[in-house]
Structures are given as structure tokens and as C-alpha cells.
Chains A and B, each alone.
Chain A
Amino acid sequence: MSYELRRRLWAALLILGFFAAWEILCLVLQVSDLVLPRPTQVFATLAARFGILWPHVMQTLWTTMIGFVLGVTVGVVIGAAIGVSRTAYDTVYPLLIGFSSIPKVAVVPIFVLWFGSGATPAILTALAMCFFPIVVNIATGLATTEPELEDVLKSLGASKLDILWNVGLPRTMPFFFASLKIAVTFAFVGSVLSETVASNKGIGNVMMTASSNFDVPLVFAGLFLLAALGILLYVAFSLVEAHVTGWATRRQGFASA
């Protein structure tokens, strides 16, 4: 356990050191807070304006989460179809690659054109950003089922659905949760992106407004909030992952526990 403790201590020290170095360098080199505010200024701004910032945090959070949930749903359905059927793979995959290689900034104006500014384009951009890694991971998980095991089950008279339910989907879980962690941060990027382009709410919008007012500490306060939210969502899904797919990480004493 002492190793674990030391590792955490070092991680915490690195973060603290990063902020300390930033603070000291800004003071020594006398950097204007119009260019790069010191961390203490950013935290002060955060504390002072938290009441105003909070609704925007919630706005970004819920658009992200709705976009994420929709993205996961779409991703799982497409991924399962592609992973099970060779024909679906061959027909759908080229289109998907094409779609995923479009920079999503370019899609936001189209969403705004169709649905107006606000929450809808934010949700859709989050969806568009996050579904692809899920499709790829689910499809990979399903495609790596051992052919011998499939033969064993088929000879027992198992239907395709039986195999998918008992073997395919559980096998996909580690891939799925690994992709959830990535997808949730992508969804976050998507909704903030949309907010910076077309919205009057959300952290992205706050940052855009603040930068046009040269309120640089507030821009950085927004950045810190985004980082904090991103870490929070990542940690949440890591915990779920460890709980659901512990079998994939061969920890000592896992089975006897």
C-alpha cells in the first residue's frame, strides 16, 4: 500500500508544482493578466463569480450528458450491427469513416441552420463527436469472439441471439467501457464547441463573451471548470468500468474477494 500512497503523493505534487511554477513564472517575468492570468487570480475569479457561472456549468453538463447518452445508444446499435454482420460491416463502414473524418466544427453551422442556436446543436454536436469510438470498440469486441467457442455453442443449438447475449456482449464490455471514457470527453468537447459558435448559455459561451471583453481571468476560470468537469466524468466512468469489467484486469485476489 505504501507504493500506492507514494504514487498518489507524486501525482499530487506534480499538479501542485505545475500551478506553483505557473504562478512564479508569471510573477518573475511580470506577465500581464491580459495575456496569462496567474492561477491565484483564476481561482479568485472562480470563487467570486461562481454564482453566475453555475447555471452555465449545468447547461453544459446536461447538453453533454444528453448528447452522450444518445451517442452511446446510436454507437452501440451501429457497432453491434457491424460486429455481427459482415455485410453490414462492408456497407456501413466506408460511410462512417467518411463521416467521422469531417471536422465537427464544420457541422455546427449546419445544425444551427436547421435547429437554431441553443441546446439542440450542442446536443447534436456532442452526439456526433462521441458515437464513433463506441462503434469501433463494440464492433471490435464482437468480432474477436473465438470461432471455436461459437462452434461449441452452435452445436448446442444456440441461436445468434444466444451467442450475442452470452458471449458477444459480455466480451465487448471492457472495450465498451474503455470507449465510454473517451466518448464522454469527446461529447464534452462537442457541446462546448457548439456553445462557442452559437449559444447564449453554457461555459463555451461564457468563455467567448469573456474573451471579447478581455476578461482573461474569466476565460481561464471557464477553462478550469471544463477541466474539472472532464476529470469528474472520466473518473465516474472509470469507477463503473472497474466495477463491471473487473474480470478483464487480472488483479490478485480478485476472485477470492
Chain B
Amino acid sequence: MSRSEALPQGHPSISPAIAPAIAVELSQAAVSFGKPGKTVAALQETNLRIAEGEFVALVGPSGCGKSTILRLTAGLLNPTRGAVIVGGREVGAKALRIGMAFQNPTMLPWLTIERNVMLPLKIVRPFRSDYRAKRRTEFRDRVHALLADVGLDKFANHYPWQLSGGMLQRANLCRALIHEPSLLLLDEPFGALDQFTREELWGTMQSLWLTRKPTVLLITHDLKEAGFLASRICVMSARPGRIIDDSAVVFPRPRTVEMTFDADFVALNQRLRDLIIDARSDTAIQGA
């Protein structure tokens, strides 16, 4: 079955010849937890398409199912209904080339930063078969080059506890990117950092994306962060979530922190903020 057949009908405007390939597609994907008859809906029927090379930010009130979408895309969770298609095939037990980073950097304390970043090469095919032979040569150079990109080259032989939170998060991004994934899934990676470190890391993330162009799905609570990094922002409603707004972010790149004070940028923030506040108050009324 070819990829175009796998996609649902009803998008006549997108001709496969011109449109970029679809990296991620959720079609009517819904998730509910619990025993039959006593289920709790975590995610309502959701449709989401992410084109290759797109940077999509997912914002919404907490507990709305953002992480559920991420876990669906990563293949860590199966949809109760609907389908999740990543890289042209349905997500299942098959290994995909995905990079992931969470708010908690989860570096292994017994390995140096170099070895921590190298960990995916030990596990992902086709690298894993060469790991023993190349870990001191080719793979090592590769890790060092990536660490240099984020300004951590001098810390390759340090242990995680010797690094600050911001540095650990940089290493975490490196670990998510070292195996050159075509899809990068980020779950509030900068959420635990202070304002200045966070803004610094936005810049790092932006340049990593501009040079490598992976498809990115970023979950965040920070609307400024979404506006700074994303090429498209999806807003979700309160639990059980669904996507209530989907809009492109057209600011030119590379974006700077100064731009976040421009009237256009502030207006975008304001609009997203209003959407989320509305979504929150809806549940408050339902719950009352």
C-alpha cells in the first residue's frame, strides 16, 4: 500500500506532488483509560497532521492530553480508537527513529556526558552493531561535534552532577538528536529552567532545528516559547482534550528574544492566552 492511500480522503487541495510529505498523522485518534464501562477519556477524537520539517508546538491547559498525543506519536501508547501514522506507517511495536527529551534530563549518573549522549547509538539500529568498534573513534567525534554545537564540548568528560540544570538540558537535547532522528518529540524540555537559561536554550534549539530540520513536536506551557520556536501552534481544550485552534507562526527566522516584545508577537501571545483561559473556564463550569 502506498502512502497516499494510507491517508484519509478529503484533502483534495493538497496535491502529493507539491506538498511536503506527512511525517505524523493522527486521524480520529482517541484514548481512554480504565476498565470497560468505567472509562476515563484522556483524549477526544483528534486529527493532527505534521508535515516533514515542521516545528509544531502544542499548548493547552494542564492535564488536557498533550502528553498523551506525544506518547501516541512515540508509539508508547496505542490509541483506543482511530489511527496514528508516523513516517507513512502505523505506529506499533516497530522501532522508529525518534528522539525524545523530557523536562527531567534523566542523564545516567554513572556515565560521562559523552557516554550519556552516545547511549542511543548503543541501542538504535544500524548504529548498535558498530557501537563497540566505533565508540572511541567515529561515534566519539560525532558526539563531540554535537556537544560543540550546544557549547558543551569542554564538558564531555564530566559527570552529570557536575553540570548545571541548563547544561544538563543541552546534553539532553544532544542525546535526543545524536542518532539523527527524523522526528523529535519534546515534552516541556525547558520547563524547569530559569527565565534566562530558558531563553538561551530557545536559541540553541532554534539553531539545532535550522541546521538539521527534523520534524519537531513540542509540548509546552510557555506561550512565548511556542511563539519563539514553532512554525505552527496547536491549542488544545481541557481534558478530555481536542485541538481547538491550529495556526501558523510566520515570524522570520532566526528569531530573537527581542522579537518577543514586538506588538505582533505580543498579540499572538494574547490570543493563545485567551483561547486557553476559555478552555479552562469551560471545564470549570462543567465541573460545577
Interface residues of A (CB under 8 A from B): 146, 148-149, 151-158, 162, 166-167, 170-171, 173, 245, 247-248, 250, 254-255
Q: A247-B159, A255-B157 are in contact. Are A155 and B109 (CB under 8 A)?
A: no
| Contact indicator A152/B109 (Cβ below 8 Å) | no
Enumerate chain B residues within 8 angstroms of A146, measured Cβ to Cβ: 104, 106
Complex CA distance for A64 and B218, rounded to whole angstroms: 57
Report whether A166 and B122 are in contact in the complex, using a CB–CB cutoff of 8 Å: yes
Report the Cα distance A56→B108, complex, angstroms.
Answer: 46
Residues of B within 8 A of A173 (CB): 110
Give every chain B residue within 8 A of A170 (Cβ-Cβ). Answer: 108, 110
Which 10 A-B pairs give the minimum distances between C-beta atoms?
Answer: A157-B95, A149-B106, A247-B110, A148-B102, A155-B74, A255-B159, A155-B98, A158-B123, A152-B100, A156-B123
Contacts of B109 in A (CB 8 A): 247-248
* Interface bits B18-55 vs A (CB < 8 Å: 1, else 0): 00000000000000000000000000000000000000
Query: Which of chain B's residues 189-237 have a Cβ closer than 8 Å to chain A?
Result: none
From A170, which residue of chain B is reached at the shortest CB distance? Answer: B110
Q: Are A157 and B102 in contact (CB under 8 A)?
A: no
| A162 shortest CB reach to chain B, Å | 6
CB pair A157 B123 closer than 8 Å: yes
Known pairs A146-B106, A166-B108, A255-B158. 17 more at Cβ < 8 A?
A149-B106, A151-B71, A151-B74, A151-B76, A151-B100, A152-B102, A153-B123, A155-B74, A155-B98, A156-B95, A156-B124, A157-B123, A158-B123, A162-B123, A166-B123, A248-B110, A255-B112
The secondary-structure label for the interface of chain A is helix
As a 0/1 sequence over residues 125 to 147 of chain B, the CB contacts with chain A under 8 angstroms (1 = contact) are 10000000000000000000000
**Measured CA separation A144–B97 after assembly (Å):** 27
In the assembled complex, the Cα of A87 lies from the Cα of B229 at a distance in Å of: 44
A156, B179: Cβ atoms under 8 Å?
A: yes
Number of contacts between A and B (CB, 8 Å)? Answer: 66
A178 to chain B, nearest CB (A): 15
B residues sitting closer than 8 Å to A (CB atoms) are 71, 74-76, 94-96, 98, 100-102, 104, 106, 108-110, 112, 119-120, 122-125, 157-159, 161-162, 175-176, 179, 185
CB–CB B96/A155 < 8 A: yes
Check if A155 sits within 8 Å of B159, measured CB to CB.
Answer: no
Among A152, A156, A166, A254, point to the contact of B106 (Cβ < 8 A): A152
Which residue of A155, A157, A166, A255 is within 8 Å of B185 (Cβ)?
A155
Q: Is the CB of B96 within 8 A of A157?
A: yes
Residue of B nearest to A250 (CB): B161
Check A148/B106 contact, CB under 8 A, given A155-B185, A156-B98, A255-B157: yes
* Known pairs A151-B74, A247-B159, A255-B157; A156 contacts B120 (CB<8 A): yes
Q: Please measure, in the bound complex, the distance between the C-alpha atom of A28 and the C-alpha atom of B75, giving whole angstroms.
A: 79
Is B108 a contact partner of A167 (Cβ separation < 8 A)? yes
A149 to B160, CA, bound (A): 15
Pull 10 A–B residue pairs with CB atoms less than 8 Å apart, ordered by A.
A146-B104, A151-B76, A152-B101, A152-B102, A156-B95, A156-B120, A157-B123, A245-B110, A247-B110, A255-B159
- Min CB distance B139 to A, Å, is 15
Looking at the assembled complex, report how far the CB atom of B136 sits from the nearest CB atom of chain A, in whole angstroms.
18
- Separation of A148 and B191 alpha carbons in the complex (Å): 15
Chain B hits for A152, CB < 8 A: 100-102, 106, 175-176
With a cutoff of 8 Å between Cβ atoms, the chain A residues found around residue B122 in the complex are 166
Shortest C-beta distance, A199 to chain B (Å), equals 43
Tell me how far the C-beta of A252 lies from the nearest C-beta in chain B, rounded to whole angstroms. Answer: 10
Kindly list chain A residues whose C-beta atoms are within 8 Å of the C-beta of B123. 153, 156-158, 162, 166
Q: Which residues of A contact B176 (CB under 8 A)?
A: 152
Chain A residues with CB under 8 Å of B106's CB are 146, 148-149, 152
| Interchain nearest-CB distance for B160 vs A (Å) | 9
Q: Which residues of A contact B120 (CB under 8 A)?
A: 156
Candidate in B71, B112, B119, B179 with the most chain A CB atoms within 10 angstroms:
B119
**Complex Cα gap A170–B111 (Å):** 10
